Amino acid sequence: MIGTTGKRIGAATAALTLTLGLSACGSGEQSSGGEGGDKTITMGIIPSWTDGLSTAYLWKNILEADGYTVEIEEINDAAPLYTGLAGGDFDVYPSAWPEVTHAAYMEEYGDDIEDLGAYYDDAKLTMAVPEYSDLTSIEDLVGKSGDHDGKIVGIEAGAGLTKAVQEQVIPEYGLDEDGWEVQTSSTPAMLNALEDAVGSEEDIVVTLWRPFWANNTFPVRDLEDPKGALGEPEALHELATAGFSEEFPEVAEMMAKAKLDDEQYGTLEDQVVNQNPDDPAAGVEAWIADNQDWVDALKS
């Protein structure tokens, strides 16, 4: 099982290195969605965060079938993504974590952002270890930093998950006094480190989240968080630049209707990330073939 992940992780890394610049057009230059206007919608994503990758290509398929042109801009971190969304450099962030993980960005940029609705209701941040580890709780990390070189293997420095572990988990559990720190890198780098550790049955502590395909691919378990330092479960939202629902009312209405349960989300991400790692559009096509009723309901 582990050996098959290398291609997916490599694909994610390649996507990340091909990060595109922000669109040259500001909000004042965005194309109109009105009758006779250019129906172009730009979506911003962090490609290694597969919830955004999967939902962006899902919406691209749905909207282009209705005559829209959808462009996907790949951004390398959450901070410029929110800055670009608020500034109108792109129109939609299709899978945001505004309630807890990205709350600081919403506090800073929320006045220039529209919340179109939540499509998934039980997302959460986690810290995880391999199933063979003796660790079961974040509390168990106290006194164990020497077994892990004091490193919690993390993702992007600007990620809300990284900030939650650095600013809430570590001080709340006193891990700083034991020499623990988050080793920031990228999502693909974290997954490579996890794959290597599991393959050698070595100890490792990583930052993860749910929903995410890696929880099913790797033999990992979440560490209990008795102090609640990682926050409560939250919903995943579609966010848009201010004024989007006036320019594109039909799209805003469809996004407000969109709801994915665990099975629907899991099969979508599996098709995009695991079954079609080199062609997310093909993964979406395969998912829609089995879920056409869900797509039709958005337009009813």
Task: Tell me the three state secondary structure of residue 117.
Answer: strand
Cα 300 to Cα 298: distance, rounded to the nearest angstrom: 6
User: pLDDT tens digits for 162-176?
Assistant: 999 999 999 999 999
DSSP tag of 27:
G
Q: What is residue 245's predicted lDDT score, i.e. its pLDDT?
A: 97
DSSP bridge pairs for 41: 70
Task: Tell me the three state secondary structure of residue 41.
Answer: strand
Q: What is residue 228's predicted lDDT score, i.e. its pLDDT?
A: 96
**For residue 285, pLDDT beyond 90:** yes
**For residue 152, pLDDT beyond 50:** yes
Phi (first) and psi of residue 154, to 5 degrees: -110, -165
**For residue 15, pLDDT beyond 70:** no
Q: What angle do CA 213, 158, 186 make, to 5 degrees?
A: 45
Residue 70: left if φ>0, alpha if ψ -120 to 50, beta else—which one? beta
Q: Taking Cα atoms as reference points, which of 103, 95, 96, 87 lies closest to residue 243?
A: 87
Confidence of residue 262 (pLDDT cuts 50, 70, 90): confident
- Residue of higher predicted confidence among 41 and 32: 41
Q: What is residue 214's predicted lDDT score, i.e. its pLDDT?
A: 87
Cα 102 to Cα 158: distance, rounded to the nearest angstrom: 10
**For residue 61, pLDDT beyond 80:** yes
State the average pLDDT over residues 190-208.
Answer: 97
Confidence of residue 91 (pLDDT cuts 50, 70, 90): very high
Cα 72 to Cα 31: distance, rounded to the nearest angstrom: 15
Q: What is residue 6's predicted lDDT score, i.e. its pLDDT?
A: 44
Q: Are 41 and 72 in contact (CB under 8 A)?
A: no
**For residue 184, pLDDT beyond 90:** yes
Confidence of residue 1 (pLDDT cuts 50, 70, 90): very low
